[in-house]
Amino acid sequence: MSFPSHNPTETKAWAALEAHYQEIKHKHLTELFQNDPNRASELKKEFPGFLFDYSKNRMTKKTVELLVQLAKETGLDQAKQAYFGGEKINETEGRAVLHTALRSPANAAVELDGKNVVPEVQEVKAKMKSFCDAVLSGNKKGSSGKAFTDVVNIGIGGSDLGPVMITEALAYYQKGLRLHFVSNVDGDHLQESLKGLDPETTLFVVVSKSFTTQETLANAQSARKWFVEKLSTEAVGDHFIAVSTNIPQVEAFGIEAQNIFPMWDWVGGRFSLWSTVGLSVALAIGFDGFEELLAGAAAMDQHFKESPSEENIPVLMGLIGIWYNNFFGAESVGVIPYTQYLHRLPAYLQQAIMESNGKSTDRNGNPVDYQTGEIVWGEPGTNSQHAFFQLIHQGTKLIPCDFIGYKKSLYGEKEHHDKLMANFFAQTEALMNGRSLEEVQEELKNQGQGAHLAPFKVFAGNKPTTTLLFDQLNPHSLGMLVALYEHRIFVQGVIWNIFSYDQWGVELGKILAKTILSDIQSDSLTSHDSSTTQLLQRYKN
């Protein structure tokens, strides 16, 4: 094993945290602030371009010390070295985890099996750059000599969620091409996306690391059929490009070698937006913008790699998650970006976090006897305030939330932005302080309303939030944000002693779907449970 296996619950730090939890579980955040005038300034970190304020969490400096101790005892520093050092920490697939090499400076050396991978990464980036520049300048044209106007990205999971999230997030910086993303094998998704497109000016980017994914291959075949019917088979070569590690399969599909953008098996699908999987992003914002995104991520990588745990933002975020998940028994985490541009961030993080850490077998192959992966969900503020915030404020569940906000709006709409951010700050304050029965009674009295309403209007408060306040949404700050969450995943996986970089849990459904598809397409049914049989009969008739 690249670093020692352990049971986190058998560490000294875990026992100390359990005892400490008993001391802290009934403490109210309001009281923690009243008792410690330095709390806000001590439980925060400044990073160029943003402020990380974790003071509104149900913890003290002692909690942080104990959590940092847990990270130490579970070998986080050693694991970090293995991660950045190209060791095959994705042990069940025999692969290294080197998405960080994709954003390393050109002169860096990242060794994998004794070979520096950076020159090869740079070579592929140069190919991406010249392709993007040619498409955006109009030099690279479709088969009938017209410049491209639309790009259709066909992929699913990591081959879709990263590119679509980033493209939407950076819509302000787009250079003019219209981007479309088709992921679902639901044929209506493809047809809706193709509606109104001109095949002569449309570029298809088929993205699949494995090039065996049923959904992507089905969508790519149907898109090709649509295209051939409207234009011609000969024109396919000018309009279809692919991103994959599986070059023979791509060629078998009919995409020529010069139109294939390679990637590597040491880049996990859900961490691949920094690779050629990000081609659609680069086509949307231009290659310089894509480089800025990588540079932002690289800045976070360096911070994560070099800073001691107590100063390290991804480590602190991972530890905060563990504190609620394993000691408070919280089941989920809310991610609430206060910008409409980040409306796909929660969906992106769902794959990144839940596919990585939704595991119940430890690194020795034994079942874990503690909680692992968090459930992640969220929507942009202020919309989410009018949807599910009721439950966060007054429900029975503890839902720690990350609030992500920006000091400036992109169009400089100050009046709107002040309103947006007033809500942002108000929510974290309200969640923390709540509203006591006495305050409510007083208010009802002043308003001449019935005292019987008081219990319904009480807010217990003590609802934890972490604030990430960025200067501005741009490729660089977005790169930092995404890399931060990536490293948070790593930290938690190490402490929980699970393999974060495989995804065996998605396989069973894929296998069964193949059998069921042949059942649907044939006259008879193979053996299923009585419910599935009844449903299949109903579907077929």
Ligand X SMILES: O=P(O)(O)OC[C@H]1O[C@](O)(CO)[C@@H](O)[C@@H]1O
Question: How would you class 533 by CB atoms within 10 Å of its CB: exposed for 0-12, middle for 13-18, buried for 19 or more?
Answer: middle
Q: Which amino acid is at 359?
A: K
Q: How far is the CB of 102 from ligand X (least distance, A)?
A: 15
Least distance to ligand X, CB of residue 506, Å? 4
Distance between CA atoms of residues 182 and 242, nearest Å: 14
Q: Active-site residue 88, yes or no? A: no
What sections of 245-373 are H helices per DSSP? Answer: 247-253, 279-285, 287-306, 313-322, 345-349, 356-357
Strands 150-154 and 202-207: parallel
Those residues whose C-beta lies under 8 Å from the C-beta of residue 297, and which sit 6 or more positions away, are 100, 103, 274, 479, 480, 482, 483
Q: Which of 61, 62, 225, 386 is catalytic?
A: 386
Measured over the CA atoms of residue 61, residue 64, residue 66 and residue 68, the dihedral's sign is negative
Marked catalytic residue, from 168, 292, 355, 486: 355
Output the DSSP codes for 24-90.
HTT--HHHHHHH-TTHHHHSEEEETTEEEE-TTSS--HHHHHHHHHHHHHTTHHHHHHHHHTT---B
Give, in order, the Cα–Cα distances in Å from 462 to each of 306, 395, 399, 436, 453.
33, 12, 11, 12, 22
**Token pair of 138 as six digits:** 């109009």
In the complex with ligand X, which residue's Cβ is closer, 375 or 525? 375
- Strand boundaries in 312-427, DSSP class E: 332-337, 375-377, 401-406
Marked catalytic residue, from 61, 62, 397, 510: 510
Phi-psi region of 44 (alpha: psi -120 to 50; beta: other; left: phi over 0): beta
| Backbone dihedral angles phi then psi of residue 117, each to the nearest 5 degrees | -85, -10
Q: Which amino acid is at 173?
A: Y
Q: How far apart are CA 528 and CA 524, in angstroms?
A: 12
**CB-wise, 252 or 506, nearer to ligand X?**
506
Q: Which one, 355 or 362, has the nearer CB to ligand X? A: 355
Supply φ then ψ for residue 90, to 5 degrees.
-85, 75
Q: How far is the CB of 492 from ligand X (least distance, A)?
A: 18
Residues that bind ligand X (CB under 6 A): 156-159, 208-210, 213, 216, 269-270, 355, 503, 506
Instruction: Provide, rounded to whole angstroms, the least separation between the CB of residue 138 and ligand X.
Output: 30
- Is residue 355 among the annotated active site residues? yes
Q: What are phi and psi of 371, to 5 degrees?
A: -75, 145
In this complex, which beta carbon is closest to ligand X, that of residue 282 or of residue 468?
282
- Using DSSP's 3-state secondary structure scheme, residue 152 falls into strand
At closest approach, how far in Å is the CB of 185 from ligand X? 12
C-beta closer to ligand X: residue 69 or 210 = 210
Nearer to ligand X, 248 or 450 (CB): 248
Query: CB 270 → ligand X: shortest distance, Å?
Result: 5
386 as an active site residue: the answer is yes
Task: Between 30 and 184, name the residue whose CB sits nearer to ligand X.
Answer: 184
Q: How far is the CB of 269 from ligand X (least distance, A)?
A: 3
Catalytically annotated residues: 355, 386, 510
